[in-house]
């Protein structure tokens, strides 16, 4: 049975948003590399990998449903920030935007009674709670150390240990 067109369109839009997110975080990684903060650069590179896996999960879902994933142009991302706090404020704001977007996709799934998609989207709902909480914690820690000095150095060292684990396969 073919997927409702409204559902298909909004899922394809979400793929694009996830790919935009990936590009944004890769840009942030480049920014941190330029600022000689390899731990934060690593953190954002892992974030890039997560967002690409999120896009691919949606992409594969559409294919499983017998639908065509339509890849659209990804708008240009921001390249410069004032400091590490500015980067994480943008990150937190962006994650809130993605949460709202996922909620809108879920709303359409309820509207068109697409129960398979409702079930699949539960993973994204849980993931966004985790994403926002983690970014918020890093942002608050950066604010505590005013984004500089020994505290920034220690946070950067901590960020070097982050590794990509593809949670979409769970």
pTM of the model: 0.94
Q: Give the pLDDT band (50/70/90) at residue 165.
A: confident
Question: Is residue 170 scored above 70 in pLDDT?
Answer: no
- The verdict on residue 73 lying in a domain is no
Helices (H), 35-114: 38-64, 84-111
- The verdict on residue 170 lying in a domain is no
Average pLDDT, integer, range 50-69: 97
- The verdict on residue 14 lying in a domain is yes
- Model confidence pLDDT, tens digit, residues 135-149: 999 999 999 999 999
- The verdict on residue 75 lying in a domain is no
Question: Is residue 166 scored above 90 in pLDDT?
Answer: no
Please list, in sequence order, all residues whose beta carbon lies within 8 angstroms of the beta carbon of residue 124, skipping any fewer than 6 positions away. 54, 102, 105
Number of domains in the chain: 1
Mean model confidence pLDDT for the chain: 96
Q: Give the pLDDT band (50/70/90) at residue 168.
A: confident
Please list, in sequence order, all residues whose beta carbon lies within 8 angstroms of the beta carbon of residue 130, skipping any fewer than 6 positions away. none
The CATH number of the domain holding residue 146 is 1.20.1260.10
- The verdict on residue 76 lying in a domain is no
| Structural domain range at position 90 | 5-68+81-165
Quote the pLDDT of residue 105.
98
Question: Is residue 99 scored above 90 in pLDDT?
Answer: yes
């Amino acid at each position: 049975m073919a997927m409702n067109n409204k559902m298909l369109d909004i899922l394809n839009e979400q793929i694009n948003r996830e790919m935009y997110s990936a590009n944004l975080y890769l840009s942030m990684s480049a920014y941190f590399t330029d600022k000689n903060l390899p731990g934060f650069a690593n953190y954002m590179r892992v974030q890039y990998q997560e967002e690409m896996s999120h896009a691919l999960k949606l992409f594969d879902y559409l294919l499983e449903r017998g639908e065509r994933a339509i890849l659209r142009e990804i708008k240009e991302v921001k390249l410069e920030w004032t400091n590490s706090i500015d980067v994480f404020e943008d990150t937190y704001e962006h994650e809130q935007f993605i949460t709202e977007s996922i909620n809108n996709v879920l709303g359409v799934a309820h509207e068109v009674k697409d129960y398979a998609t409702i079930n699949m989207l539960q993973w994204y709902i849980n993931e966004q709670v985790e994403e926002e909480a983690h970014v918020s914690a890093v942002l608050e820690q950066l604010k505590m150390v005013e984004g500089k000095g020994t505290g920034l150095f220690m946070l950067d060292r901590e960020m070097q240990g982050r590794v990509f684990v593809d949670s979409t396969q769970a």
